[in-house]
Structure 1
Amino acid sequence: MYYIIRRTLIALATIGVFVACGGQKQTVTVAYNDYRVTKNVQPDSAMLKLLAPYSDSINKTMNQVIGFATNTLQKKQPESNLGNLMADAMKHTAKEVYKVNVVAAFVNYGGVRSYIPKGEVTIGKVYELMPFDNLVIVQQVKGDVLQAFLNHIAGRGGWPISGIQMKIVDKKATDVLVDGKPIDMNESYYIANSDYVANGGDDCDMLRNIPQMNNGYLFRDALISYFKVLTRMGKPIDSKIENRITL
């Protein structure tokens, strides 16, 4: 079951309010208690009844099956089947949405929050995988900026990437191929990232001031759409290790 709100600790507060003759309200005391929510805590029937119309609707959506995974997909560095799948989804969506030749896409490793078990894949599983409202962003970068970004990724042990092949040597990206060709420091490339990374998150300062293509398309929706595309094509939700990043 999927809940609207999840918390492990609830603080209940009692607030005392003093009203002066002039009508101004002023807080005079605040008292609170912490209540840890465990399996032994029984749900409040009145609250469940209140939330039922919303939770029923949410569960119907979250339990919708959008594909089938023939293998368990998990994240791992420097490369993983799950990471490749997600980066491919980012690249595919960016090309479809922005109508430019996106040659590479990236997913920050720390943003991948779950895994996909073998079996039916639901929308709820995608929400567990990508709980953040990150957006799909496209930027046009010079080769030297892309190299700096790849060096950063190499220094972090490798991120999910699509359209790039590289080696990590002494925490630097070497032997870089972009769309099958050696990287050109003077060339301009369209790359896709989340808005978090494009705005300089995870210490990606080299991307912070570069103009963005942003139409508000959620990365989570990109994953859902891509998985549905694979299913319509009769393909499983799967990916393989392709030596996109080697050590």
Structure 2
Amino acid sequence: MKKISILFLVFSLWACSENPKTLSKIDAQQIQISDSIAKNKELEDFIAPYRERITEEMEGVLAYTPEAMYKSDAKFNTPIGNMMADAVMEMANPIFENRTGNKIDAVILNYGGIRSGINAGDISTRTAYNIMPFENEVAVAAFSSEELRALINYLAKNKTAHPIAGLQVILNADGDLHEAKVNGEQIQNKTYYVATSDYLIKGGDRMDFFLNAEKVETLDYKLRNLFIDYFKKKDTIAPVRDERFIQLQN
């Protein structure tokens, strides 16, 4: 049951009409709203076609996945996280390259930002809203090699399946950083371009290294819309867990 407080403002008037109105008293009353209150048929009839149109749009099939994907599937990298990071790399890179002449080297999103799993079967627009209900947009940070190493050290220390692409992070059996590469190469002394969300670009999830970015380019492309476009582009979504973030065994 929801309670809505409705404020009733009571004004007193002076005897002379030329005097202004002044606030004399404020009264508040709680009106309880529940499903026992009858629906307004006129309002329901007005809303119905819009509700049907939105439902049709949200349930429209965009792609298909043969297997369910959840962020709890594995420890260091997961199919759903890999899919999301790869989608950002594939869909955002052409926009960034067209604007700047540079290519995105790596992608990192946050584990906590994956708000739902994806069930086996049809993937719809609603699926994109479920996994990314926020209004976050894609942003690309220009990193020095030092800040890129700070990002990698964060992953190694955090040991969480944050979605990444373009990076390979390998921990030794003790959980310490063993090796890290960008697009299959050792880190060099140059500028790297890392795509992420505008939430993380501000240091969200304690990713403070983004605050030291040399430059930030916001793409005006919501992550949710990016995933919708990615699903439309693909017939079947079948990502797997791979070697992008792993821990070696004894």
Same-fold call, TM > 0.5?
yes
1:13 aligns with 2:29: no
Residue in 2 aligned with 1:127?
129
Q: Which residue is equivalent to 1:114?
A: 116
Is the contact made by 1:147 and 1:173 (CA closer than 8 Å) also made in structure 2? no
Question: Which residue in 1 is equivalent to 2:223?
Answer: 219
Query: SS at the partner of 1:146?
Result: helix
Which amino acid counterpart does residue 188 of structure 1 have in structure 2?
Answer: T
Instruction: Say if 1:41 and 1:111 are closer, same or farther in 2 by CA, change over 3 A.
Output: farther
Alignment of 1:93-172 (within 5 A): 93-99=91-97, 100-158=102-160, 159-168=162-171
Quote the Cα distance in structure 2 between the aligned partners of 1:116 and 1:23: 59
Which residue matches 1:80? 78
Deviating beyond 6 angstroms after TM superposition, the runs of 4 or more aligned structure 1 residues are 40-43
Cα distance in 2, alignment partners of residues 245 and 26 from structure 1: 66
Which residue matches 1:239?
A: 239
Cα–Cα, structure 1 residues 120 and 28, in superposed 2: closer, same or farther, change >3 Å? same
Per-residue Cα deviation, 1:111-149 (whole angstroms, up to 9, x for no partner): 000011111100011101100011111111011101111
Alignment partner of 1:52 is 2:48? yes
Amino-acid identity (%): 27
Whether contact under 8 Å (1:94, 1:137) holds in the other structure is no
Question: Quick check: 1:200–1:206 contact (8 Å CA) kept in 2?
Answer: yes
Q: Which amino acid is the alignment partner of residue 111 of structure 1?
A: G
Deviations, residues 56-75 of structure 1 (Å, cap 9, x unaligned): 22112101111000111111
Which of 203, 213, 235 in structure 1 is aligned with 2:206?
A: 203
> Aligned match of 2:186 in 175, 182, 186?
182
8 Å CA contact 2:147, 2:212 repeated in 1: no
Amino acid at match of 1:204: M
Equivalences for residues 5-44 of structure 1 within 5 A: 10-21=2-13, 22-25=20-23, 28-32=26-30, 44=39
Instruction: Give the whole-Å Cα distance in 1 for the aligned partners of 2:181 and 2:32.
Output: 55
DSSP 3-state at the match of 1:212: strand
Q: Which residue is 1:62 aligned to?
A: 58
| Cα pair 1:73 1:238 within 8 Å, conserved | no
Shift of 1:26: 5.5
- CA distance in 2 between counterparts of 1:81 and 1:26 reads 63
Counterparts of 1:44 and 1:70, CA distance in 2: 41
Q: Indicate conservation of the 8 Å contact 2:170/2:246, yes or no.
A: yes
Q: Please, which moves more after superposition, 168-177 or 110-119?
A: 168-177
Give the number of the structure whose alpha-carbon radius of gyration is greater: 2
- 1:223–1:27 CA distance, 2 compared to 1 (3 A): farther
Q: Quote the RMSD (CA, aligned, Å).
A: 2.2
Asked if 1:228 corresponds to 2:224, the answer is no
- SS of 1:59's equivalent? helix
Q: Are the counterparts in 2 of residues 167 and 173 from structure 1 also a CA contact under 8 Å?
A: yes
Partner of residue 17, structure 2? none
Residues 60 and 157 of structure 1, relative CA distance in 2, 3 Å threshold? same
- Counterpart of 1:213 in 2: which secondary structure? strand
One-letter amino acid of the counterpart of residue 58, structure 1: I
Structure 1 residue 48 displacement after superposition: 3.4
Whole-angstrom distance in 2 between the partners of 1:149 and 1:67: 33
Aligned partner of residue 221 in structure 2, secondary structure: coil
Pick which of 219-228 and 168-177 moved more. 168-177
Counterparts of 2:242 and 2:78, CA distance in 1 = 9
Tell me, which stretches of 5 or more residues in structure 2 are unaligned? 14-19
